[in-house]
Structure 1
Amino acid sequence: MTRRKDDVMDVSTLEEPAFAGMAERHRRELHVHCYRMLGSFEDAEDTVQETFLRAWRRRETFEGRSTFRAWLYRIATNACLDLLAKSRPEPATGGEVLWLQPYPDRLLDELPADDADEPEAVAVARETIELAYVVAVQHLAPRPRAVLILRDLLGWPAKDVADLLGDSVNSVNSALQRARAGMREHLPAERQDWTGGEDDATTRDLVRRYTDASVATDIPALAAMVRDDIRTSMPPTPGLYAGRDAVVTYWVESGFEGMTGLRAVPTSANRQPAVAYYHWREREGAYLPLTIDVLRITGGAISEITTFHADRFPRFGLPERLPADGTE
């Protein structure tokens, strides 16, 4: 981690407002760290608050041997492990993560710009926040999960991770090997072909056509845009559908075909293109939030659609309603 000036201060003598101000500078990156650990935006938010509370109560334990920033990461990681032990003692199985929530790109843009000009850092940041990566992480046991994130994403030395977890360096290295093997098992095979980003004209065109076909509930058109191995899910609702035939059958049986009164607003989550849908409600005389589709695109086709409920709209800064005349 990059060492900042405020990371080497004596924090034990600070008044609470000054201490809170120092900690607040790291809120977004700690939130992303907790999100990777937990897969849930809201659980990550609660855990960051718990991290700040623990940090204030234990401020005398910060001895300056590491940076203030690294000290906060230690506390946040332990807070995540405590939450997992209490509420999710078993990792996800079968490819589904029912507690999964999206992370709006507008909030990811608040991350500090350290190393922003390094292409490798940008690629790692994008790959390791996409939903497929977050889902794969949730299939790891909590401690190997923490080891993977601290070692491979944050670049911590094995000795520092061992100290945090109260383990030996050998145990940490073994856990890292198991975690990497688990990630290879659960990650898509074509990781290097993931979404090209907003500058990819082909991706933008595909998202536009997908949006138009969705609003028109044109299932044949949608089916033509997805890969044979398409996967869809709608957390927290159970159900993972894999393969074009299974997905199309689900669309037909769910009554999607022939649905009317839809409008769409483009957005983005987890550094992936997304589409927010609104549905006309006659009583309210407006289009109200319905769902958000987050798309993974591989080789010019849609390889995964993860749909989230309307309660996610406020996090994206999306309108509460769209009027009938089409203005916002």
Structure 2
Amino acid sequence: MTEEALAGARDGDGEAFERLVGLYRHELHLHCYRILGSTADADDLLQETLLAAWRGLAGFEGRASLRSWLYRIATNRCLNALRDARRRVPAEPVPPFEPPEPTRRGEVSWLQPYPDALLTALPDPAPRPETRYQSKEAVELAFIAALQRLPPRQTATLVLRDVLGYSAAEVAEMLGTSETAVKGVLQRARATVGAHRPVVERPAPEAERELPRRFAEAFTADDIEGVLALLTDDAWLAMPPAPHEYHGKAAIGAFLEASAAWRDGRRFHLVPTRANTQPAFTCHLTDRDGRTLHPVGVVVLTLDGDRIGAITRFLDASLPARFRGSRG
């Protein structure tokens, strides 16, 4: 941060303000996404954060770094959004066919994938002493989903402490609380996240390449047995914003059979990409002519060793546009 840019921004120079905060734009967006679980909500809260920073720059005294000051604003804006119920929780979609009875109904219906292309623009700072999670695992889909099960203040505390590595004193200052309170909240948050994050085996590089390819071939051919052969015995299929979740090969196979019967010859078309540091596909559905494609969502695979441990189909036709130009 240069004094010249800070002085210019305080005088109302928009270009100086952008030079001042531009380096932090991408990481603040990811921060909002971690807390909110939605890329669309992260877009909105990033803009709110920057607007609040622009309006409040005169009050920035430099006692903390500009980065910490911006994180404080972003965190509290996200918490306000959650408290005010302004998060856009999507309406439960009506299935176009009668699906099998789900194993359970998921609670995190607002979850959305995060394009890896956005992660490449992030700085790669050295981890701080308080950091517990590596940068990759701190954006994986299971971690983001686990965060959404926490009360908002626990989510913010865990992200600030264990992902960003701020000290208990710094987090207490950001959240307007005491260090003792931060430690108690963090302990509860860690226990909940640990209980909801599945333990998976990291795939070998060859499996990382071959499993997504084989899945795409079987899935687009409606080769249900071929898809099931790639899954772990305890695999899950989830479909946000629909709450239906299916556990195990038999339940997943029953859903895939019902879906294929409804499509009546129309096939899925998958384009490789990456989301949340995991193999993914933008998903399109053909017309019966086999040529016209309609975007229908994004599929993210969670690999577990040499098998697929989870399939997350995001049923939102607007999502593929966020991955345009990105390939796995």
* Shorter-chain TM band: 0.7 to 0.9
Work out whether 1:187 is the aligned partner of 2:197: yes
Partner-residue secondary structure (3-state), 2:111 = coil
Shift in Å, 1:146: 0.7
Query: Pairwise mapping of residues 266-281 of structure 1 onto structure 2 (< 5 A)?
Result: 266-281=272-287
Hey, what does 2:110 align to over in structure 1? 99
Tell me the distance in 2 between the aligned counterparts of 1:75 and 1:5.
21
Q: Which consecutive unaligned segments of at least 5 residues does structure 2 have?
A: 90-103
Hey, what does 1:322 align to over in structure 2? none
Partner-residue secondary structure (3-state), 2:63 = coil
Kept in 1, the 8 Å contact 2:132–2:165? The answer is: no
Hey, what does 1:323 align to over in structure 2? none
Q: Which consecutive unaligned segments of at least 5 residues does structure 1 have?
A: 320-328
Normalising by structure 1, report the TM-score: 0.85
Shift in Å, 1:17: 2.6
Cα deviation 1:260-317 (Å, max 9, x = unaligned): 4433211110000012232223689522223321000001111011112221011001
Hey, what does 1:163 align to over in structure 2? 173
Hey, what does 1:77 align to over in structure 2? 75
Query: Pairwise mapping of residues 193-204 of structure 1 onto structure 2 (< 5 A)?
Result: 193-195=201-203, 200-204=205-209
Kept in 2, the 8 Å contact 1:7–1:68? The answer is: no
Hey, what does 1:47 align to over in structure 2? 45
Work out whether 1:265 is the aligned partner of 2:271: yes
Shift in Å, 1:195: 5.0
Hey, what does 2:228 align to over in structure 1? 223
- Name the CA shift for 1:54/1:284 in 2 (closer, same or farther; >3 Å): farther
Hey, what does 1:146 align to over in structure 2? 156
Q: Please list every run of at least 4 consecutive aligned residues from structure 1 whose deviation after the TM superposition is greater than 6 angstroms.
A: none
- Name the CA shift for 1:71/1:123 in 2 (closer, same or farther; >3 Å): closer
Hey, what does 1:210 align to over in structure 2? 215
Shift in Å, 1:147: 0.6
Amino acid at match of 2:320: F
Hey, what does 1:12 align to over in structure 2? 10
Shift in Å, 1:59: 0.6
Pairing partner for 1:293 from 296, 299, 302: 299
Kept in 2, the 8 Å contact 1:216–1:260? The answer is: no
Shift in Å, 1:122: 12
Tell me the distance in 2 between the aligned counterparts of 1:213 and 1:7.
58
Kept in 1, the 8 Å contact 2:266–2:288? The answer is: no
Cα deviation 1:66-112 (Å, max 9, x = unaligned): 111111000000000000101179x9x97531001111111111111
Partner-residue secondary structure (3-state), 1:239 = strand
Identity %: 40
Kept in 2, the 8 Å contact 1:232–1:306? The answer is: yes
Tell me the distance in 2 between the aligned counterparts of 1:148 and 1:71.
18
Shift in Å, 1:149: 0.4
Amino acid at match of 1:46: D
Hey, what does 2:308 align to over in structure 1? 302
Pairing partner for 2:258 from 253, 256, 276: 253
- Name the CA shift for 1:283/1:87 in 2 (closer, same or farther; >3 Å): farther
Kept in 2, the 8 Å contact 1:12–1:62? The answer is: no
Tell me the distance in 2 between the aligned counterparts of 1:157 and 1:187.
24
Cα deviation 1:206-242 (Å, max 9, x = unaligned): 1111010011110011111001111111111121111
Between Structure 1 and Structure 2, how many residues are aligned? 306
Kept in 2, the 8 Å contact 1:8–1:67? The answer is: no
Partner-residue secondary structure (3-state), 1:143 = helix
Kept in 2, the 8 Å contact 1:210–1:225? The answer is: yes
Partner-residue secondary structure (3-state), 2:294 = strand
Work out whether 1:131 is the aligned partner of 2:135: no
